[in-house]
Structure 1
């Protein structure tokens, strides 16, 4: 059973009686690592809080992928707005341990680069540094692969995350299919602007309260069945 087929069995189903079930979005992530699922949960939170961005992403997916298939890894390079959403979400990733020259740091000390603060620095990102704006990455050469120090979700240099390739692909493909495969809204009539974005700090910056959302399949039923 594919991850999306498994997800389809767990998301809200609106039957003839109009009944709904709610599920934490994290439950939709099958086989992902902790940091990948955290990134996807934040991305979905931002999209639910910013309906215009969610609509723009959905329109791109419909235009490029169409409604008769799911998104595969090969389709990601043709989805620049989806890629921009992933980069924008990675403003608050997991810290990285590094060695630093010029500082009296005792041997064996674990040093964390505050990439969360870098991603919100107005000197780098302008006055709208804390706003969710995927457009800032559309047409930009900035990447997350360790060469641009403004954006270091995976670290850089010798100690860059060894799982960068797999992790990035997982986030992109899973997020693309969540947006493409389902229509999303917040439960109980919660207004978008009222969605809590409170953070809980640790080795990864997680949501203080897990995201809950209502999803409805938006593609033909045969698409979810897979090959």
Structure 2
């Protein structure tokens, strides 16, 4: 009888552990994925709503972390090594979120994966197969469906200058007014001209004719 009771308690303990492990993983994956896909979230939900989505994500993480922390604290001493795994996972993920440059990694991946298609679109612009087609702004071109994914915030690119002075901006973040970030192609390979786009906070050279800029 005692043996059966012990087995039942062990089974219940295991079920509770895996339940708490699931809660810990939900919290960790929530903030991990929202940091990896931050620009995608902004693109889908707009810059106005995205911060609230991010706040909800961190709230989910905090609640999940509190639950698994309490679970660890109230555990019997001989169970703490195992029962501390969920909160340990959350701590490790939180540290990763603060030290790993997820934004830089995802932008670099975006640049490398889509470079050839962006250059296809640029060739169409240079050949004048693509011309400004947005009524309210003569510098904007709404890309064809095939290329819409190349510029966040609506699939539009900014074309300024001509000939060797041509600058073409593909948005990675399209905020309001002059608040934006994106990849800029310059025909002559020189650093992008601030007078064409606004004040740059950051300019990073990626390749011969390519730069990533952040402006406000």
Alignment TM class, shorter chain as reference: under 0.3
After TM superposition, the score normalised by the length of structure 1 is 0.23
Structure with bigger gyration radius: 2
